[in-house]
Structure 1
Amino acid sequence: RSAAANPGTLAPLLSDRPSQNYDYNLGFKFDAGLVTDYFDRVRAGSTNPDSAAGVRRIPQSITADYTAKEDILAGYAQARFDLGATDVLVGLRVEKTDFEGSATSVALSGAQTPVTVDRDQTDFFPNLTLRHSFSDQLIGRFALTRAISRPDYTDIVPRVLETTDSGRTTVTRGNPDLKPTLSNNVDLGLEYYLRPLGVISANAFYKDLSNYRFTLVTDNVPYVTPTSTVAQVTEARNARDGHIAGVEFNWQQTFDFLPGWASGFGVFANYTLTDAEIKTSRAFAGRDTFALPGQSDETYNAALFYERYGFSARISYTHRGDFLEAIDATNPGKDLYVEGRGQLDFTTSYDFGNGVEVFGEAKNLTDSAGVRYYGVKERTYEYEKFGYNVFFGVRFKL
Structure 2
Amino acid sequence: MKSVAKLAVLLLTTTAAVPAWAQDKSAEASATEVDAIVVTGMRESLKTSVARKKNTMEIVDSITAEDIGKLPDPNVAETLTRIPGVQGYRYGGEGASPVGEGSGITIRGLTGQTASRLDGRAYFTAGGREFNIEGAIPGMIAGIDVYKNPSAEHIEGGIGGLINVRTRKPLDFGGLTISAAASMRYNDLSKTTSPEVFGLIADRWQAGDGEMGFMIAANYQESDNRSDSNPGNRGPQTRRAIRADSADFLAAGGDARYAGRTDIWHLANANYTDFPESERADLVAATGLGSHVFQEDIHRVRKGLSGAFQWKPSPDLEFYAQGNYNYYLYDQSYRFAIMGDSRTVQNLVTSDFTLDENLLNRNLNGGAVELVSGKRIDSGTFLGSRVNALLGGREERPYETWLAAVGTNWQATDKLHVHLDVSYIKADQSRLNHNVSFAPNSAADPAPSWDFARDLTTTPYSIGISGSSLTDPNNFVFDRYNTDANNVIDDNGWAGQLDLVYDVGSSFLTAIKAGGRFAVQTSRFFDYRDGGRSLGGVPLTDAQDLTELSPTNWLDGKAGYSGGYIVFDPDAHFGDNVRNRFPDAGIPAADSMPENLLARRYSREKSYAGYVVGEFAYDDFIKGNFGARIVKTDLFARAMVDSNGTAPGGAIVPNTDSASYTDVLPSFNITGYLTPDTLLRFGYAKGITRPSLGDLNPAITFDPARGGASAGNPDLKPLKADSFDVSLEHYFSPLSYVSAGIFYKKINGFPFGRQACATIPLAPVPTETECDDPAQYTLTIRDNAEKGNARGIELAGQTFFDFLPGAFKNFGVAGSFTYLKTKNPVPMSGETVDTPMPFQSKINWSASGMYEDDFMSARVVYTYRSDFVLFGIDSWPIWGRYVKGYGILDAAVNFNLPHNFTLSFTASNITNQGPNRYVGEPGAFATDFQNQHYVNGRVFGAGIRYKFGG
Q: TM-score, normalised by structure 2?
A: 0.32
Alignment partner of 1:80 out of 611, 615, 637: 615
Q: Distance in 2 between matches of 1:285 and 1:301?
A: 41
Residue type matched to 2:735 in 1?
L
Q: Relative to structure 1, is the Cα distance of residues 249 and 236 closer, same or farther in structure 2, using a 3 angstrom cutoff?
A: farther
Corresponding residue of 2:98: none
Q: Which residue type is aligned with residue 300 of structure 1?
A: W
Between the aligned partners of 1:173 and 1:338, the Cα distance in structure 2 is 32
Q: Does 1:205 align with 2:743?
A: yes
**1:1-398 matched pairs, under 5 angstroms:** 5-9=536-540, 11-12=542-543, 29=572, 33=576, 35=578, 69-84=604-619, 85-100=621-636, 118-153=658-693, 156-157=696-697, 176=714, 178-195=716-733, 197-212=735-750, 240-280=786-826, 282-284=827-829, 286-327=831-872, 330-352=875-897, 354-375=899-920, 376-398=926-948
Distance 1:196 1:123, change over 3 A: closer
Contact kept? 2:720, 2:748, Cα under 8 Å? yes
Moved more, 110-119 or 312-321: 110-119
CA distance in 1, matches of 2:937, 2:622: 51
Deviation at 1:128, TM superposition (A): 1.1
Q: Is the partner of 2:849 in helix, strand or coil?
A: strand
Question: 1:370 aligns to what SS in structure 2?
Answer: coil
Q: CA deviation at 1:190?
A: 0.5
Mapped contact 2:682–2:726 kept (Cα < 8 A): yes
Q: In 2 relative to 1, CA 176–318 (structure 1 residues): closer, same or farther, beyond 3 Å?
A: farther
Q: In structure 2, do the counterparts of structure 1 residues 105 and 294 end up closer, same or farther at CA, with 3 Å as the change threshold?
A: farther
**Structure 2 CA distance, aligned partners of 1:86 and 1:199?**
20
Q: Note if contact 2:828-2:875 (Cα within 8 Å) is conserved in structure 1.
A: no
Deviation at 1:240, TM superposition (A): 0.4
What does residue 477 of structure 2 align with? none
Give me the whole-angstrom Cα distance separating, in 2, the residues matched to 1:103 and 1:351.
58
The whole-number CA distance in structure 1 between the counterparts of 2:943 and 2:711 is 43
Which AA in structure 2 matches 1:345? D
Distance in 1, matches of 2:899 and 2:890, equals 28
Gaps of 5+ in 2: 1-532, 547-568, 701-709, 755-780, 921-925
Residues 43-85 of structure 1, C-alpha deviation per residue, up to 9 Å, x if partnerless?
xxxxx967x99xxxx9899899865554443321111221221
Change (3 A) 1:296 1:65: farther
**Do the aligned residues in 1 keep the contact of 2:617 with 2:624 (CA within 8 Å)?**
yes
Contact 2:718 2:749 in 1 (8 A): yes
Counterpart AA for 1:8: P
- C-alpha change, 1:331 and 1:174, in structure 2 (3 Å) is farther
SS at match of 2:903: strand
Change (3 A) 1:104 1:346: farther
1:35–1:242 distance in 2 versus 1, CA, 3 Å:
same
Distance 1:365 1:116 in 2: 53
Q: What is the distance in 1 between the residues matched to 2:939 and 2:893? A: 14
In the TM superposition, what is the alpha-carbon distance from 1:365 to its structure 2 partner?
A: 1.1
Bigger Rg, which one:
2
- Gap change, CA 1:383 and 1:49, over 3 Å in 2: farther
Residue 103 of structure 1, CA deviation:
6.3
CA offset digits 1:374-395 (Å, max 9, x no partner): 3133343332222121222222
Deviation at 1:293, TM superposition (A): 3.0
What is the CA distance between 1:34 and its match in structure 2?
Answer: 5.3
Q: What is the DSSP-based 3-state SS (H/G/I as helix, E as strand, rest coil) of the residue aligned with 1:366?
A: coil
Identity %: 27
**Closer/same/farther in 2, CA of residues 3 and 295 from structure 1, 3 Å limit:** closer
Q: Go from structure 1 to structure 2 and tell me whether the alpha carbon gap of 1:13 and 1:203 turns closer, same or farther (over 3 Å shift).
A: same
Shift of 1:272: 0.9
Change (3 A) 1:257 1:300: same
What displacement does 1:214 show? 8.2
Q: Is the 8 A contact 2:896 2:902 kept in 1?
A: yes
Deviations 1:321-361 (A, max 9, x none): 12223445642332332322211111222333644322232
Q: Distance in 1 between matches of 2:640 and 2:798?
A: 51
Identify which range, 129-138 or 340-349, moves more after superposition. 340-349
Structure 1 contact 13–30 (Cα < 8 Å) conserved: no
Amino acid across the alignment from 1:211: G
Specify whether residues 3 and 183 from structure 1 end up closer, same or farther in structure 2 by C-alpha distance, changes over 3 A only. closer
8 A contact 2:606–2:635 mirrored in 1: yes
Contact 1:215 1:325 in 2 (8 A): no
One-letter amino acid matched to 2:536:
A
Which amino acid is the alignment partner of residue 317 of structure 1? Y
Given that 1:214 and 1:293 are in contact with CA atoms closer than 8 Å, whether structure 2 keeps it comes out as no
> Is the contact made by 1:4 and 1:12 (CA closer than 8 Å) also made in structure 2?
no
1:299 aligned partner, one-letter code: N
8 A Cα contact 2:572 2:578, kept in partner = no
| Residue pair 2:658, 2:715 contacting (<8 A) in 1 also | no
Q: Which has the higher contact order (CA 8 A, sep 6+)?
A: 2
Q: Deviations over 1:298-340 (max 9, x none)?
A: 1111111112214221110111112223445642332332322
Q: State the secondary structure of the residue aligned to 1:377.
A: strand
Report the TM-score when normalising by structure 1.
0.71
Q: Distance in 1 between matches of 2:916 and 2:711?
A: 25
Question: Given residue 95 of structure 1, which amino acid in structure 2 is its aligned partner?
Answer: V
Kept in 1: contact 2:659–2:715 (CA 8 A): no
- Deviation, structure 1 residue 5: 2.9
Distance 1:29 1:137, change over 3 A: closer
Instruction: Provide the rounded CA distance (Å) in 2 between the counterparts of 1:286 and 1:37.
Output: 54
Equivalent pair of 1:38/1:49 in contact (CA under 8 Å)? no
1:262–1:390 distance in 2 versus 1, CA, 3 Å: same
Structure 1: which 5+ residue stretches go unaligned? Answer: 16-25, 40-47, 161-171, 217-234
Partner of 1:42: none
Deviation at 1:277, TM superposition (A): 1.1
Indicate conservation of the 8 Å contact 1:69/1:101, yes or no.
Answer: yes
Do the aligned residues in 2 keep the contact of 1:285 with 1:332 (CA within 8 Å)?
no
Aligned AA (2:881): L
| Equivalent position amino acid for 2:790 in 1 | I
In structure 2, C-alpha distance between the alignment counterparts of 1:301 and 1:237, rounded to whole Å = 38
In structure 1, C-alpha distance between the alignment counterparts of 2:599 and 2:804, rounded to whole Å: 57
Q: Could you tell me which residue of structure 1 aligns to residue 272 of structure 2?
A: none
In 2, the alpha carbon distance for the partners of 1:35 and 1:68 equals 35
Number of aligned pairs? Answer: 345
Change (3 A) 1:3 1:81: closer
When residues 306 and 99 of structure 1 are mapped into structure 2, their CA distance, relative to the original with a 3 A threshold, is farther
For 2:814, give the aligned amino acid: F
Q: Is the 8 A contact 1:206 1:246 kept in 2?
A: yes
Structure 1, 246-255 or 386-395: larger mean CA deviation = 386-395
